[in-house]
Amino acid sequence: MNSIFNQRRERMLLLGILGPVVALVCIAVAIPLSPWFTWSGNALSDLGNYDNGLLVAALFNAGLVISGLSSFLFTLWFLANSKTLPTRIGMLLFAISEVFLILIGVFSENAGSIHFLVSVGFFATFPFAMWIVSIDFLRFHELRLFSVPPLLFPFASLYLWYITFTGTAPWSGVAIPEIVTALTAILWLYFICGMIYKDLLPEHVWSHA
């Protein structure tokens, strides 16, 4: 790899790794500052509702915007270096989901129905991105070990959403399926970052120069 690509790779990996950390830290700080919040009875977006506290909402929403933007830039870079059509399609979907994440921070619950629409867009797009890319990676024997877990991650989320909306879950809010679903996306993103860092992606899948 040439030095310019190496430097760009380091910067992009930093964005990919730190982006989710920003969101998680902001959530972790916002929760103890919101004594009314419960994992079983609320949505995470309630933390971003300005009627529940201006400073906490600003912190929460800023975290989503910064996280979404950082991950979006990383994903665009990965997409530009991808060589297979299915992976490009999957990463394009992932980039779209990150745009939705940014919009969740911009259009809080106070914005009305648009918040619901962008939230659904976020949670509905990235599982398909994970499936498409993982199925594509399964074609290559050197990537199969890294393809199976992300292929299964979304099913855990689907189960949690199913029991939540059917009323069979021991909780009434959506914060638990939201955080679990988000963590599957973060874990998958870190899978990709790890493969890039360790140079595990073969040349016929991803450009190294």
Q: How many residues does the chain have?
A: 209
Q: What mean pLDDT comes out for the span 178-205?
A: 95
The whole-angstrom separation of Cα 101 and Cα 20 is 11
DSSP letter for each residue of 17-53: HHHHHHHHHHHHHHTTT-TT--TTT--GGGGG-GGG-
Q: Is residue 208 in a domain? A: no
The whole-angstrom separation of Cα 120 and Cα 103 is 11
Q: Is residue 205 in a domain? A: no
Q: Is residue 203 in a domain? A: no
Q: Is residue 202 in a domain? A: no
Q: Which domain holds residue 105?
A: 3-197
The whole-angstrom separation of Cα 15 and Cα 73 is 7
pLDDT tens figures, 66-92: 999 999 999 999 999 999 999 999 999
Q: Is residue 206 in a domain? A: no
The DSSP code for 35 is T
Number of structural domains, the chain?
1
Backbone angles phi, psi at 31, to 5 degrees: -65, -50
Q: Is residue 11 in a domain? A: yes
Percent of the chain with pLDDT over 90: 94
